A and B are shown apart, each in its own frame.
Chain A
Amino acid sequence: MKRSIIDVPDLTPEELNALMDTAEDIIAHPDDYSDACRRKKLATLFFEPSTRTRLSFEAAMYELGGNVLSVTGAGTSSAAKGESVADTAKTVSCYADIIAMRHPKEGAALVAARSASVPVINAGDGGHCHPTQTLADLLTIRREKGRLGNLTVGLCGDLKFGRTVHSLINAMSRYEGLNFVLISPEELKLPSYVKNDALKKKGIPYRQTTDLMEVIGDLDILYMTRVQRERFFNEEDYLRLRDSYILTPEKLKKARADLSVMHPLPRVNEISVAVDDDPRACYFKQVLNGKYMRMALILMLLELKKGGERA
């Protein structure tokens, strides 16, 4: 039966673990998967600018031995002529075996999934969901820490508008022994509905602070986020908040030796380039892990295993 992934909760914890296991197996035995999607086509429909997500999906499909059909920008597709998302999804289903779609409108991926006759992966729908980023984050944490529970996770920066933060908190709240530290300026605190649904209702401990240095020594993971210019009406506020937390080698001296520094990228200036050489910096590993998780997800949705066998 055709299945799509719009948000992380569409996957059970068992499926999440199975995806991470597959990704680990791909990393260990890439050749076993190099022909797994032979004669299969992935359509990447990107109606909004994206570098890493689109390339990651395309690289993932190529490494599985499949092919890619690509649409970038609403201006070069039938969307410019006023075609609905539902019609686009029905049409592309005639050409491709699976669709990865990014769209500026929230809920667009769900509309596409309801109309398409092939699986749809949400590659970002406005400020709503970006599940494959969360999959990349989870695999990175599991690979760096060897577990997804019993961790103190610091989330720093724009916790109000950052969809990756909301999604990661929701996904991680399924695991035991977590402790969240929410580090943000007053104006960019985590919305109360996320706090209520993902943390308070499940009895997960958390604390909020505006001071990164006060808590940096307690953290197993520090997940940094970018303050997004497009979220502000006032340039002055943006510039003031943008520079709230800049992670430098100096600040990292107070952190644990086994801290993992993560970031969904792109960064602006919130992590100094000098931090890139620190062994605790994991954000480029996240990018790579994202490709492996997308490979695992494509295989799962096409019901294929290594060597192209049916799952």
Chain B
Amino acid sequence: MNVDSIRDGVVIDHITAGCGMKLYRLLGLDALDVPVAMITNAVSAKRGRKDIIKVDADIPVDFDVIGYVDPGATVNIIRNGELVEKKRIEMPETLVNVLRCKNPRCISSCEQELEQVFKLTDREKKEYRCAWCEVKGDM
């Protein structure tokens, strides 16, 4: 399979196999009017299989979303065909407007313009809790 190399854009690499489509949706890549390549189950020397996303445009990337869905993925920023930045994404301490609190009794369900803030409470379990009501968050 051949996917052209990109000149200005973003490559999200080392995505755990199977997580690529989830990231694709959560990053809103389906709404972009630019070439996006989604490669699933690519061969990886370290992991066996991995997913890769290539975006042929210099778009802002929400590292928090990547860190929440798949910590350990890497983001490569390409400019003029050169790799200018390579970033390994860690699990963020705080997520702002990534998750939505599902607790109907939470103040965030009714307070005007209140951000949806989640704090990392257990790194091992990848557990985030709402900063307002402390109920566990999930997608």
Contact = CB atoms under 8 A, between A and B. Distances in A.
Contacts of A85: 107, 111
Interface stretch (B23-31, B70-78, B129-137): B129-137
B114 A111 contact: yes
Contact of A128 (B110, B111, B133): B133
The 8 closest A-B CB pairs, nearest first, are A107-B132, A106-B133, A105-B107, A107-B107, A107-B133, A108-B107, A84-B112, A126-B105
Contacts of B105: 104-106, 126-127
B109 interface: yes
B114 A105 contact: no
A110 interface: yes
A13 B114 CA distance: 32
A86 interface: yes
12 contacts: A84-B111, A84-B112, A86-B112, A105-B106, A105-B111, A106-B105, A106-B133, A107-B106, A107-B134, A126-B105, A127-B105, A128-B133
- A interface secondary structure, majority: mixed
A108 B133 CA distance: 8
Contacts, number: 48
B108 interface: yes
Interface of B: 103, 105-112, 114, 130-136
A105 B101 CA distance: 13
Contacts of A103: 107
Given A105-B105, A106-B106, A128 B134 contact: yes
Interface in A182-240: 193
Nearest to B135: A106
A138 B9 CA distance: 58
Most buried by A among B103, B107, B132: B107
A125 B132 CA distance: 10
Contacts of B106: 105-107
Contacts of A193: 136
B96 to A, nearest CB: 14
A105 B135 CA distance: 13
Nearest to A83: B112
A148 B110 CA distance: 40
Contacts of A86: 111-112, 114
A151 to B, nearest CB: 27
A84 B114 CA distance: 10
Given A85-B107, A126-B105, A127-B105, A107 B130 contact: yes
A126 B114 CA distance: 18
